Amino acid sequence: MVRKLVQLHSHGTVGRVNRVPLRSIRTERFADILGHYAQFCFRHGYAASTRRNLREHGVRFFMFLESRCLLDTSEMSSHTIVDYVNSLSVYSYHSVGLSLTGLRSLLAFLHTNGYHHLDLSEAVPHQQARSGSTVPSTWSHEDVLTLLHALDRGNPCGKRDYAILLLVTRLGLRAVDVRNLKLESLKWSTNRIEFVQSKTSQSVYLPLLKDVGWAIIDYLEHARPKSDSSFVFLRHTAPYQSLGEGNCFYHIISRCLKIAGMTASLDQKLGMHSLRHTLASTLLAKHAPLSTIAGMLGHASVESTAVYLKTELNALRACALQSPGGTA
């Protein structure tokens, strides 16, 4: 509450600090513009998650304009942009960076499509990059096994969730690629999985490991609902269709943690992405080249993979320099 009062006093409006559903904007013109913007993003092939995030940033910006009684985009000025950027001060560094990117995209769209005579995206400041400033959360080998054993593989949902977890823990797939995995991606004759990544649009070819393959077969033969859908993993309640776009499978991990009686510290982020981090760190500890790890995880650049060096403490200790006093 105090933070909100400070924000109201400093910026004349109160932003939403938590990721909660945003209310609809009131101005019909803003709603129409947002609809055109969504179509623009779709036509240009933006991923569903990207379109969803850009819309959220757009709604937040238009709500800010409404709070300032600006009901037409032509009334905006560079001062408006500065005031909005200042109002983002209550958000985390990472959230501010995403908001600035979203704002820059929206303002460029407004100018290109005649909603404003100036390209106000140039007034949006650039945030200094702090890439890789945090250490990725990882699991121990024992905790990963405990997580997998907590699943009840005697029921259909358990078989599905077990196969999903193996795809992430053994092959490092992103949640979005697990959701979008098609039956045609399973190349049984060559024991490979082939698909195009949603994030990078790059083709990925991974070995269909024995345990992963048998888990998928068990699901397909004994648990998957009868459906003409081309997706591997489906909802287990009617209608039997592909899993929702926003499904990041955290409910699977949360349920397993509860069953296994496992707890996490406050600074640990134990979502599906942390299992990708764990795989990368494990491969690194076994001296796999960064280029190999990058190819397996589908990173567009080895620099994206280098962040996992921070989790390999033994390797970091080996790089420590001796100080003049004789201590590391």
Q: What is the DSSP letter of 320?
A: P
Q: Strands, E, within 175-317: which ranges?
A: 186-187, 192-196, 203-207
Greatest pairwise CA separation for the chain in angstroms: 70
Residue with tokens 């092959």: 171
Strand positions, DSSP E, 233-319: none
Cβ neighbours for 144, distance < 8 A, ≥ 6 positions apart: 169, 275, 278
Please enumerate in sequence order all residues whose Cβ is within 8 A of that of 297, keeping only pairs 6 or more positions apart, or say none.
Answer: 172, 276, 279, 280, 305
Tokens matching residue 131:
């890439």
Q: Determine the Cα angle at 187 with ends 228 and 240, to 5°.
A: 20
Q: Of 158, 128, 282, 296, whose CA–CA distance to 223 is shortest?
A: 158
- Tokens 């958000």, residue located: 91
Given the structure tokens 């013109």, which residue do they identify? 29
**Which amino acids are annotated catalytic?**
174, 199, 273, 276, 299, 308
| Integer CA distances (angstroms), 56 to 15, 29, 41, 84, 171, in order | 13, 17, 13, 15, 32
